[in-house]
């Protein structure tokens, strides 16, 4: 990517929302990643559509970034435009048993709002550190529940930049995937259908799930969440542990000793440490069990998505 092309893009975007050379590590839960060519903080759908259209016209790669909980960004950064859905794109409204949330809203915050409103169905999300946009794209889930069971409508931009609403039957959900993810749609906001419930029961269920996470997941260490998808008929963490990889380290990246499905940052890890550790885990698990683990976490290397 030439600097002149990035400069041309910068001139076409609102200057008060644009930042050059921002370090991306603080925007991710695993705390690694180099600098963005350009980073844009968006506050409305028109800004998102304009930025995507300008980048497409100039053939500049784009990375959509919410709470950064399911990706590892290269130490070299992202040589293109990073569109950040942050607090200015995080409105949440409740109408009856329906919740509408913008893409930048924290999934955990939306779960708290549902609890306060005595709405049940979203308790499983109380400890998932994702944005609504990311959780919608990848069909985030836990404890036998997932976003696909709640979402009724998604406001998005298609790959051609057209703004539209997709109904539940058009979303093409599967395990940690969706039509939107596969075809390159951009989530703007969603509507979820919950149910009225008894608040004490909702709070107790949330507390139970959070207690399980504290007990079984390395939530005190920076991580990107479950690093590998669950292979059919197996559990990734169990396969990794059976291969003798608990505690395996590359640099300051480590296979968690509490839950082997998580790769954690011991403090000074680099993205390259995680790339190499993930590859080593995949190779050794395949040798030990014949199963090739597929990463659930997105690995962003340079401007290659």
Cα separation, 201 vs 178, in Å, equals 31
Cα separation, 89 vs 155, in Å, equals 13
What H or E segment, with its residue span, contains residue 167?
Answer: strand 163-167
CB 256 within 8 A of CB 30: no
Q: Which of 41, 146, 155, 296 is catalytic?
A: 296
Q: Which of 176, 189, 223, 241 is catalytic?
A: 176
Residue 14 CB partners (closer than 8 Å, separation 6+): 47
CB 62 within 8 A of CB 81: yes
Would residue 95 show up in a list of annotated catalytic residues for this protein? no
Q: Which of 74, 131, 226, 303 is catalytic?
A: 226
- Looking up tokens 């991580």 gives 223
User: What are the structure tokens assigned to 218, written together?
Assistant: 């390395």
Which residue from 127, 154, 153 is spatially nearest to 140, judged by alpha carbons? 127
Percent of the chain that is helix, strand, coil (3-state, to 5): 35, 30, 35
Would residue 178 show up in a list of annotated catalytic residues for this protein? no
Would residue 226 show up in a list of annotated catalytic residues for this protein? yes
Q: Which residues are tagged catalytic?
A: 176, 226, 296
């Amino acid at each position: 990517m030439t600097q002149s092309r990035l400069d041309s893009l910068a001139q076409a975007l609102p200057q008060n929302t644009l930042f050059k050379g921002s370090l991306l590590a603080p925007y991710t839960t695993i705390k690694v990643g180099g600098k963005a060519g350009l980073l844009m903080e968006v506050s409305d759908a028109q800004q998102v559509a304009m930025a995507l259209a300008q980048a497409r016209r100039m053939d500049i790669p784009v990375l959509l970034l919410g709470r950064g909980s399911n990706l590892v960004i290269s130490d070299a950064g992202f040589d293109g435009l990073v569109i950040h859905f942050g607090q200015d794109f995080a409105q949440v409204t409740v109408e009856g048993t329906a919740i509408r949330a913008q893409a930048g809203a924290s999934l955990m915050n939306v779960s708290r709002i549902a609890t306060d409103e005595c709405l049940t169905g979203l308790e499983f999300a109380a400890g998932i550190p994702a944005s609504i946009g990311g959780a919608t794209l990848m069909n985030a889930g836990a404890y036998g529940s997932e976003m696909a069971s709640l979402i009724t409508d998604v406001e998005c931009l298609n790959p051609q930049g057209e703004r539209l609403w997709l109904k539940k039957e058009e979303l093409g959900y599967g395990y940690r995937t969706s039509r939107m993810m596969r075809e390159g749609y951009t989530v703007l906001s969603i509507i979820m259908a919950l149910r009225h419930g008894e608040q004490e029961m909702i709070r107790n269920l949330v507390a139970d799930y959070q207690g399980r996470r504290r007990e079984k997941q390395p939530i005190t260490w920076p991580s990107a969440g479950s690093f590998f998808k669950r292979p059919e008929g197996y559990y990734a963490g169990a396969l990794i542990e059976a291969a003798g990889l608990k505690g395996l380290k590359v640099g300051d990246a480590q296979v968690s000793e509490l839950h082997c499905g998580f790769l954690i940052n011991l403090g000074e890890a680099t993205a390259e440490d995680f790339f190499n550790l993930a590859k080593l885990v995949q190779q050794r698990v395949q040798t030990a069990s014949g199963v090739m683990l597929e990463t659930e976490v997105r690995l962003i290397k340079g401007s290659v998505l």
